Structure formats: structure tokens, C-alpha cells
């Protein structure tokens, strides 16, 4: 590695102001929401694909590993921190063009610097009838960053990668390719037909280190005539299996067209408030009794479903009727909420509390942003839950890395059955308590057949010993999940070794692809691979 | 190439009866529905993945190109004929297991020997509430064969590759890999979550020569509560643009969840009857006037839409109402047909003809199998239309290759707009007539945003000069389409050079993948590539 040589070449190529080596900046980038040891040598910020291309050629020439990030907000999975022990971060936030927008055909092409908020504002400005999909992470998150990690959101377009139609990719060699039909001159269907002709390669550039996605065409969702969120609640933990099995056929047959999120009581509590230090004994353990008290006060259950219906009024009515019938007598409550009802609730929250004793404001604090997410509206309000174990209020502009919030996510996937849901809950409960954490569980029906169990290990990085406990807890959870046949949909930088558990032939195949595309192993070594 | 050495090794490995070199058999396999010059040296038939693996290792050892086929019924695109000048066919029809079926989670794993009919029968036998998707090709077609060619069908699961969840692949090296989560031990979600973790590679094994798909897990569709086909007809050619533009938003917002097929008058006529030799003058030219006469007699229009609605009765009613309203006053007719109405029509066809003069039996002959296809029921009745230009009746068991039917397909894709539909029609009309063929046009709204224009060049291979004219017509069409920015979703063996029109960097990337995976270029040389 000739780091000095590379640095000087990058300075010439990108301009010295876009090659940062100041300690503060490096320190910031090598800080995640959990303990890391990786060292960031420099941050380079190309302004367009051609500069990305030039920068990666320099990396090859001087044999310096480069780790591309978009917004660097991959919180819970490693933020901006590289997978390799020493590396240069290539920040892509300056590639923020929005182009190739079609209201009729519902597509748009974005760069990695385009944030959720930026695309949302763009659509608003166009007075568009199209919706984007958003995640609950910061409005300042990069859409490409999330998409190439195969993240998911809340609308019928929530499986982000499934709604991608062609990419511009800078290969590790520095060559630029366009995928799908966009590799042909003037191909009209480049943004409307994703398979193109010949091998379909877009998937190679998700969860990998095979290329840098510098542009991505995204399909947008036509706004439905009518929208209604639904909330289902069961009182007792042992109702989980029935809850899942009753929902499953509706998700399978697309009566419910979008991701359904199912949170346990601890998870809902952590979304509404920070840790109730005052109610908790000296050992700092939050007991089920205390949680149950809050559940009564704020009206949530042992398991809480949130989903939405989209379509014409008649279609939504049909879906609503079916859900009501299926859950009749099986749950504590099933509620439907449209935009009008939500506005009304916000207006009436004070008298409501006065009459019922229920603290509607607390619930609305969670429900309003979640309601918006189901319509693809980004929100800054969810990320506050990373402050769960902090002893301060959530600041104005929360930044989990800077604010020393501890967060590690673990996200195993299972078939959507009550049986598997229970098996996963057992694994969680038998582990997190041991390490002193709460079982913060959210299960998402991410597609018609699968349940993604997102476990949040949330802690305070300023508490001594917590980093280590969280790390151990995460490792143990991952091991136990894998042993029992549950593998994650996505990996954090400290969990990449899961990829090694694959059959050896597959590992050899991946290695073969990597070594032909990146013989010097300079692009994000160790990302979704154990070869650092 | 040491062909004799390979032959003897294959005989030992597979048993001599599964290594065929008889002239008749070879002749059959090197016969397509158009003229070809490629030579089949032998046909080898492994019985399982291990034998495929062994056979491909032998191919490498002796440097003999192998061309895998499933059922070999890739009619209109080259049937079983290899892309390389000389090659050994590997027939996969013995790999016909059906396993890993789940009624609840709606998936099944099949081998390349599983035909449409076989899976259909399997589901019937299980008394399953799940539907497969079928194409209009023979019930004896392989499902994997069609899926890896990214074929499409008629139900909401009509984009076949989009409903694939993991594959078993024999690489050109002979190594076997399992994709998605199925590469991990005991992964419960292997058949329910298609992306797995790490790079998504399944797309590499569609429309390529990078591997042999020996197993594939397929998602099945839960039978909807209610189903209704719809038929829309416009009288005049110049109504095409409005027709497409009126339909487009319904396909985009998934009110219409499945492929919509739009056939012109010539296409519909060719589906109902064979060429009306008696009505056509000496020059053999079928004029618009004659077609118009038939259109009146059998009640079809210049453009004819066929699609379907799926859901609860209430959902279908909502969709029906919207379509009716949108097309009100714009079309000659819009008709809805459910199972009950179709049965009734079949019963009443005679009195109907007597009263109205319309020949319902002729229409029903087309409508009944198409109705079934919309429910995933394979049919032997559509393939008969390849006999359009023959001077004999369609035989009992039609086989287009053997029966010397001429058929070449050309299938360019465009965004779903009336403007593009018209532009494509212009290209077709200005070409086919010159070569003496009819414009047999079917436009399919294959996804929410794209129109695939399938042009059938149908002729009689026993007529001198027709093979050549058809070939030239196809080349000219393809050239004109490409020049104007329309590229095909799929290629026949005589059209693979289209891949060459891509940007050079992309071609280099493909070559790099191929040469690392198949250094001896023994797997299907020239398939979706110009490197033979």
C-alpha cells in the first residue's frame, strides 16, 4: 500500500478540499453505534461518476483499499466504518443528481447522494402523484445506500431492490457499466424493464464489494385512491402464533400489499419513551411488570401489529372486512386509521385523555410518523428510539454515532409461520437478558412468505462494559440463530463472517467473482465476505 | 476437441443408452422452426445433478462444447438447436423431480424435466389451492426452460423469473452451488426469501451460459376468491394509442395485476383459423379487406385486449367498474367473463349462432384455452397457430419442428405508451409486407411499465424460399427496432449478435465473467453472447 502516493494523486484529481485527513473528521467516520477498531486513513469525495472512476483507478495503482459510503448512516450495522482494518472512505454524497423522472411511467434516476428527504422534496415540488418508499431511519439517509443493502420500508414498494430498474456501476477496475437495457444506445425501455436482455447482473452489486453503484433507476408507486393504516393488538405473549398464522394468508394473497410490522411490548415502549429509570430498581432491570403497567397506561399489547391497506375505497373496504372477520374474537383490538381520523385524533388528544385516562399524545407521537412512513414520508422521529438507554433527552438533531447511542441490529429471516416466530422469540429471550438487555423485537412480514425478525440491542455506549456486553450478545444471538437455521437478511461490519457458513463451493464461486473483478482486492475488502 | 474421448467417458458415466448418436435423433434435435446450420454431435441425458456435474467435467476434460436443453421446445427462438456450430446436447428431461412443496407458504422445487402439465397435475393431485403460471406453449414445455429464458405467462405470477426463490446450479467447472439462503445448512427461509444474504446471483443464470440450473424453487399463487377475464375491442387501427394510454394507469397501479395481451386483427385471425387460402388471390396476399370480413363474422376488432381481474368479488367489482368507466365511449366493446359465463356460452353456442349469426364456436375455440391460461392451466390448443400458413389441418399432436412449421419470434420491449406502441407497429408494417408475411402482432403489458411486442413471423418451411425470406425479415425487423431504440426481452439462436450492440465496457465485463467461470468455453458457447 502506497498511501502517500495515492493521497497525492487523489488531491490532484479531486481537488485537495475533497481529500480529508484531519483527525476529527476521520474519528467521526470511524465511530459507529458499537465498538469498532477499524481505522479510516482518509476521506475522499468525488463529485461524479468520472471522478469515482478516476479515484478507484488511483486506488488500484497505489494498492490502497477504498470503502464507499453514501450517507454513512448505516446505523446498527456499522455506520460509515469500513470492514477492513485500514481503509480510505469514499464518500458519495456529492453525487446527488435526480434525473430521468417520469410521472406517467413512475420512475426516477438518482445518485448515491440523494437522501430520502431530497427525493421526497423533489416529488412534492413536482406536485407528483407518485410515492417513494421510505425507511424509519433519518430523512438524511441515502436511498441508494439503503437499497444496495437491500433495506426495506413500509409501502407496497417496500422491498427496495425489487423496485430497481438498472444501475450505473463503477467496477473495481474503474470501468463504468450500465446494466439492463441501459447498456444499449437510446434504449427506450431502460427505465421500465429491469431484466434487460442476457444475464441479469444488478443483484451482484447489492450486499457485495463487486462495484460502486453511482446511479440507480428507481420505480415509484402511484398514489392510491385511498389509504388506511391498521393496528392489531393482542394482550398476551402466547397469542403470537395465532396472530402470525392469521395474518399470513392475507400477506400471501396480497390483500395486505405492504410490509407488516409486529412489535413486542418492550419494543413499543422503547419507541414511545426512553428507559424508565425512575421505575426501575437498582439492578437496572426492566421487569415485565413495569412494562405491563405502561402497556395499560398507553394501551399497547404483548404484540402489536401495524400495517396498511391501499387501493380504491371499495378495495380497502373489502380488505378491512376480511381482516376484521379473521381476527374477530382473537385479538384485543383491531383498529383502522385513515388520514382524516388521524388529524381528528391529533385535535382531540387533550379531551380524549381527560375522558379515558389514556395518554393519546404518547401514542400519537409514535403513530403519526409511522402513519406517514406507510405513505413513503420520511421522518426524523423514529431514530430517537436509539436513545432508549441514554440518560438524556433526545437532542434536536439526534446523531446516534456522535451521541454515543449503542445500537446493534440482528435480523434473521424465517418463513412466515407462528411456529418459526415463536422459535425466534425463544432464542432472543434466552439470550438478551443474560447480557442485561431488553428483548426489543420487531418482526416484519417483508414479503409474501417471510418474516424478518429485527432485534435491536440498544444500550448506552457511555456505560462501561456495555460495548463488550452488546458485542457478545450479538455474537451469541447470531450463532444461535444460525445453528437453528435462521440466517440474516443483512449483515453488520462485525458480523460478516456469517457468509463463511455457506457451502464451500459457493464461497469458492464468490471468491472467483471477486478476484476476477477486483484482483488487487481494493474495493471494500471484507464486505459481505471474510476475505479482508 | 476430443469428441470420441468424451463420448466414451459419457457412455461409461451415464450408461450407453443415455448417450445417443443415431442420425435420426440428432437430425430431430438440429431442426428448429426456421433454417439452421448448427450440427448436433450427440445427445447426452444425465439423470440427476451429480450426473450433470460428472458430464460437464468430462466436457471440460475433452474440450467438447455442451448445450443444455430442458424440453427443447424453445419454438420460434431455436427449439433445441445449439448456438454453437457443433455441439453436444445435454437433455435434462430426466431431472423431473417435484419436491419441497408447501401449500401454506406456496412454494415448490422442480427440476428442468418438470413440464407445465406435470406441475399442473401435481397440484391437482394435491387438491391444492395454489395456481402455477403457464405459457401458451405446449403443456410438455419445461418450466425451468421457460423461466431461465425469462418467459412470461398470464397470471399475476406471469413474470416467471420474478417468482423464483433460489436455484441449484452446476457451474461450467462442474461444481454445484445453491443460491440464496439455500447455500446454508438447514436454512428455513431458503424457499421464502429470494435475496438471501450477500450478492444476489440468481440473475446470472438466466439468459446466459454461466451455469446449468438443475433445480429451481418457484413461488405459487394462492387461488383468488374470484376471477374474471376481460376483453376489450376497438374497431379501428388508429384507436391503438388511446387504448394503450387508457389501460396503462390500471396496469401501473395494479388494478390489473397480470399481463395484458393486445392482439391485432391478423393475430386474432391466425389464432382462430389457418390461412384462408380459398379467399386469397393468386399472389397469396391476405388483404386488409379479407381480414375485415372475418373480423365482422367472428366479432373481433383492429386491436383486441385480453386480460383478467383477480381478488375478492368486491375487489373485482371495483376494478371492473373502473375499467368500464375509463373505456366508456372509447371502444367498440368491453366484456367480462367469469367461469360460469364461459360454461354457459359453451352450452349456448349453437342457439347463439342461430340468433345472432356470429360464429361463437370459432371464438370459443380461442377463448376457452386463453381463459384457462389466465388461471395457470396449460393448454395444447394455442401452439396450433404455428400452422397458420400450412396447407394441412393442425394434426393431433402438433410439433412445429417436425411438422415444418415456420416460426420466428421477434420481441422488442418499449415503455407502455401509445406513442411507442404506434412506433413499433410502423416498423413492423413497413417490413413484413415486403417479405410477404402478415403483421401478426401481440403486445403484452408484461410488467407495470413495459410493453413487449411479440411479432410472429409464421410461414411454411415447405414452401421454397420462405426460410430465407423469414430470416431476412427477422434480421431487418431486429435492425430497425434496435436503431430506433427498441431492444428485445429475449433472443433466438440466430439473433444473439444483438448482445454485441452494448457498450464495450459491458461486453468486456460479460467476457470477464464468462472466462473466469468457463475458461474452456464449453458451456453453450454463443448463448446470449457473440463468443462462439
| Global ipTM | 0.96
Nearest by Cα to A210 from A518, A519, A529: A518
CB pairs A-B closer than 8 Å: 273
Cα angle A226, A232, A233 (rounded to 5 degrees) comes to: 160
Are B189 and A150 an interchain contact pair (Cβ–Cβ within 8 Å)?
no
Q: Give A248's contacts in chain B (Cβ within 8 Å).
A: 104
Mean pLDDT of A72-96: 95
Are A206 and B200 an interchain contact pair (Cβ–Cβ within 8 Å)?
yes
**pLDDT at residue A480, rounded to an integer:** 98
Q: Give B506's contacts in chain A (Cβ within 8 Å).
A: 177-179, 183
The distance of A455 to chain B (nearest Cα, Å) reads: 17
Confidence of residue B364 (pLDDT cuts 50, 70, 90): confident
Q: Which A positions 451-470 lie with beta carbon below 8 A of chain B?
A: 452
Q: Give A414's contacts in chain B (Cβ within 8 Å).
A: 188-189
More confident residue, A509 or B340: A509
Burial A366-392 (b: 16+ CB within 10 A, else e): bbbbbbbbbbbbbbbbbbbbbbbbbee
Mean pLDDT of B287-310: 94
The rounded distance, in Å, linking the Cα atoms of B207 and B496 is 11
Are B192 and A415 an interchain contact pair (Cβ–Cβ within 8 Å)?
yes
The rounded distance, in Å, linking the Cα atoms of B112 and A403 is 55
The rounded distance, in Å, linking the Cα atoms of A31 and B19 is 62
Nearest by Cα to B306 from B378, B376, B273, B258: B258
Burial B339-376 (b: 16+ CB within 10 A, else e): eeebeebeeebeebeeeeeebbebbbbbbbbbbbbbbb
The answer to whether residue A325 neighbours chain B at the CB level (below 8 Å) is: no
Are A192 and B415 an interchain contact pair (Cβ–Cβ within 8 Å)?
yes
Nearest by Cα to B83 from B531, B428, B513, B524: B524
Q: Give B529's contacts in chain A (Cβ within 8 Å).
A: 198
Q: Which A positions 145-174 lie with beta carbon below 8 A of chain B?
A: 150, 156, 161, 171
Chain-centroid distance of CA B140 in Å reads 13
In chain A, whose CA is at the least distance from the CA of B415?
A189
Residue whose entry in the numeric block shows the C-alpha cell 423514529: A382
Among candidates B156, B188, B502 on the partner chain, residue whose Cβ is nearest the Cβ of A414: B188
Interface residue of B188, B252, B323, B493 to substitute, partner A, most A CBs within 10 Å: B188
Length of chain A equals: 532
**pLDDT at residue A360, rounded to an integer:** 65
Confidence of residue A282 (pLDDT cuts 50, 70, 90): low
Contact A431, A424 (CB under 8 A): no
pLDDT in tens, A40-52: 999 999 999 999 9
Contact B301, B363 (CB under 8 A): no
Are A197 and B222 an interchain contact pair (Cβ–Cβ within 8 Å)?
no
Are B488 and A197 an interchain contact pair (Cβ–Cβ within 8 Å)?
yes
> Of A399-403, B91-95, B422-426, which range is least confident?
A399-403
The answer to whether residue A491 neighbours chain B at the CB level (below 8 Å) is: yes
Instruction: Tell me the longest C-alpha to C-alpha distance in chain B.
Output: 72
pLDDT in tens, B317-360: 999 999 999 999 999 999 999 888 888 888 887 776 666 666 66
Confidence of residue A143 (pLDDT cuts 50, 70, 90): very high
pLDDT reading at B532 higher than 80: no
Confidence of residue A471 (pLDDT cuts 50, 70, 90): very high
Residue whose entry in the numeric block shows the C-alpha cell 449503542: A406
Mean pLDDT of B139-166: 97
The rounded distance, in Å, linking the Cα atoms of B478 and B495 is 8
Q: Give B254's contacts in chain A (Cβ within 8 Å).
A: 156, 257
**pLDDT at residue A4, rounded to an integer:** 97
The rounded distance, in Å, linking the Cα atoms of A67 and A86 is 10
Are B187 and A487 an interchain contact pair (Cβ–Cβ within 8 Å)?
yes
Are A512 and B510 an interchain contact pair (Cβ–Cβ within 8 Å)?
no
Nearest by Cα to B302 from B403, B439, B411, B179: B439
Are A224 and B253 an interchain contact pair (Cβ–Cβ within 8 Å)?
yes
Domains and CATH numbers, chain A: 98-222 (3.30.465.10), 226-483 (3.40.462.10)
pLDDT reading at A279 higher than 90: no
The answer to whether residue A404 neighbours chain B at the CB level (below 8 Å) is: no
pLDDT in tens, A13-26: 999 999 999 999 99
Q: Which A positions 272-311 lie with beta carbon below 8 A of chain B?
A: 311
In chain B, whose CA is at the least distance from the CA of A491?
B197
Among candidates B198, B312, B528 on the partner chain, residue whose Cβ is nearest the Cβ of A207: B198
Does the model's pTM come out above 0.90? Answer: yes
Are A315 and B317 an interchain contact pair (Cβ–Cβ within 8 Å)?
no
Q: What torsion, rounded to 10 degrees, do the Cα atoms B132, B258, B337, B334 define?
A: -160
Q: What is the DSSP letter of B402?
A: T
Pairing of the two strands A86-91 and A39-44: parallel
Nearest by Cα to A166 from B432, B88, B450, B141: B450
Q: How far is CA A517 from CA A72, B216, B514, in A?
A: 24, 27, 12
The distance of B532 to chain A (nearest Cα, Å) reads: 15
The rounded distance, in Å, linking the Cα atoms of B400 and B79 is 9
The rounded distance, in Å, linking the Cα atoms of B177 and B183 is 7
Contact A317, A228 (CB under 8 A): no
DSSP B408-425: EEE-EEEES-HHHHHHHH
Q: What is the DSSP letter of A278?
A: G
pLDDT reading at A235 higher than 90: yes
The distance of A381 to chain B (nearest Cα, Å) reads: 29
More confident residue, A343 or B334: B334
Contact A66, A43 (CB under 8 A): no
Residue whose entry in the numeric block shows the C-alpha cell 396496469: B251
The rounded distance, in Å, linking the Cα atoms of B132 and A151 is 29
Are A184 and B208 an interchain contact pair (Cβ–Cβ within 8 Å)?
no
The answer to whether residue A200 neighbours chain B at the CB level (below 8 Å) is: yes
The rounded distance, in Å, linking the Cα atoms of B493 and B208 is 12
Are B311 and A314 an interchain contact pair (Cβ–Cβ within 8 Å)?
no
In chain B, whose CA is at the least distance from the CA of A168?
B506
CB atoms within 10 A of CB A291: 20
The answer to whether residue A487 neighbours chain B at the CB level (below 8 Å) is: yes
Residue whose entry in the numeric block shows the C-alpha cell 407495470: B448
The answer to whether residue A100 neighbours chain B at the CB level (below 8 Å) is: no
The answer to whether residue A187 neighbours chain B at the CB level (below 8 Å) is: yes
Strand partners, A68: A90
Are B200 and A219 an interchain contact pair (Cβ–Cβ within 8 Å)?
no
pLDDT in tens, B192-219: 999 999 999 999 999 999 999 999 999 9
**What residues have CB less than 8 Å from A169, skipping those under 6 apart?**
A176, A177, A178, A179, A205, A211, A212, A213, A214
The rounded distance, in Å, linking the Cα atoms of B99 and B96 is 10
The rounded distance, in Å, linking the Cα atoms of B134 and A39 is 54
Length of chain B equals: 532
How many helices and strands (H and E) does chain A possess? 14, 20
The distance of A51 to chain B (nearest Cα, Å) reads: 17
In chain A, whose CA is at the least distance from the CA of B488?
A197
Amino acid at each position: 500500500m502506497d498511501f502517500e502516493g495515492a493521497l497525492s494523486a487523489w488531491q490532484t484529481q479531486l481537488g485537495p478540499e475533497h481529500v480529508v485527513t484531519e483527525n476529527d473528521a476521520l474519528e467521526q467516520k470511524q465511530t459507529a453505534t458499537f465498538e469498532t477498531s477499524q481505522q479510516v486513513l482518509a476521506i475522499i469525495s468525488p463529485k461524479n461518476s468520472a471522478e469515482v472512476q478516476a479515484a478507484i483507478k488511483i486506488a488500484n495503482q497505489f494498492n490502497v483499499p477504498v470503502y464507499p459510503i453514501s450517507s454513512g448512516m448505516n446505523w446498527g450495522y456499522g455506520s460509515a466504518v469500513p470492514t477492513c482494518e485500514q481503509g480510505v472512505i469514499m464518500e458519495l454524497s456529492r453525487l446527488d443528481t435526480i434525473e430521468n423522472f417520469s410521472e406517467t411511467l413512475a420512475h426516477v434516476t438518482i445518485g448515491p447522494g440523494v437522501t430520502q428527504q431530497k427525493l421526497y422534496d423533489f416529488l412534492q415540488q413536482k406536485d407528483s402523484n407518485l410515492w417513494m418508499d421510505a425507511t424509519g431511519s433519518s430523512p438524511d439517509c441515502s436511498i441508494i445506500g439503503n437499497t444496495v443493502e437491500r433495506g426495506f420500508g413500509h409501502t407496497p414498494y417496500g422491498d427496495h431492490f425489487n423496485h430497481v430498474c438498472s444501475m450505473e456501476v463503477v467496477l473495481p477496475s474503474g470501468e463504468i457499466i450500465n446494466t439492463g437495457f441501459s447498456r444499449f444506445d437510446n434504449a427506450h425501455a431502460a427505465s421500465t424493464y429491469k431484466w434487460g436482455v442476457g444475464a441479469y447482473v444488478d443483484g451482484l452489486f447489492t450486499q457485495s464489494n463487486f462495484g460502486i453503484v453511482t446511479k440507480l433507476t428507481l420505480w415509484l408507486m402511484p398514489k392510491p385512491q385511498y389509504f388506511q393504516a391498521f393496528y392489531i393488538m393482542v394482550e398476551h405473549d402466547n397469542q403470537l402464533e395465532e396472530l402470525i398464522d392469521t395474518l399470513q394468508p392475507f400477506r400471501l394473497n396480497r390483500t395486505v400489499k405492504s410490509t407488516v410490522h409486529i412489535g413486542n411490548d418492550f419494543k413499543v415502549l422503547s419507541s414511545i419513551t426512553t428507559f424508565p429509570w425512575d421505575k426501575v430498581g437498582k439492578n437496572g432491570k426492566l421487569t415485565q411488570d413495569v412494562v405491563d403497567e405502561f402497556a395499560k397506561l398507553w394501551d399497547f399489547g404483548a404484540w402489536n401489529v401495524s400495517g396498511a391497506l391501499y387501493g380504491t375505497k371499495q378495495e380497502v373496504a373489502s380488505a378491512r372486512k376480511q381482516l376484521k372477520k379473521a381476527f374477530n374474537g382473537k385479538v384485543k383490538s383491531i383498529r383502522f386509521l385513515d388520514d382524516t381520523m388521524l388529524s381528528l385524533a391529533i385535535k382531540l388528544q387533550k379531551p380524549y385523555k381527560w375522558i379515558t385516562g389514556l395518554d393519546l399524545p404518547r401514542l400519537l407521537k409514535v403513530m403519526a410518523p409511522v402513519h406517514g412512513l406507510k405513505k413513503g414520508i420520511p421522518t426524523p422521529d423514529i431514530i430517537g428510539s436509539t436513545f432508549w438507554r441514554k440518560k438524556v433527552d433526545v437532542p434536536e438533531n439526534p446523531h446516534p454515532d456522535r451521541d454515543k447511542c449503542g445500537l446493534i441490529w440482528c435480523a434473521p429471516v424465517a418463513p412466515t409461520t407462528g411456529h418459526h416466530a415463536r422459535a425466534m422469540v425463544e432464542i432472543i429471550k434466552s439470550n438478551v437478558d443474560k447480557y442485561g438487555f431488553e428483548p426489543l423485537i420487531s418482526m416484519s412480514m417483508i414479503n409474501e412468505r417471510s418474516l424478518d425478525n429485527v432485534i435491536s440491542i440498544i444500550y448506552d455506549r457511555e456505560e462501561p462494559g456495555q460495548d463488550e456486553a452488546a458485542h457478545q450478545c450479538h455474537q451469541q444471538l447470531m450463532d444461535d440463530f444460525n445453528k437453528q437455521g435462521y440466517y440474516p437478511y443483512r449483515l453488520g461490519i462485525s458480523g460478516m463472517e456469517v457468509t463463511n457458513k455457506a457451502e464451500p463451493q459457493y464461497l469458492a464461486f464468490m471468491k472467483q467473482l471477486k478476484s476476477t473483478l477486483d484482483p488487487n482486492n481494493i474495493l471494500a475488502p471484507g464486505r459481505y465476505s471474510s476475505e479482508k
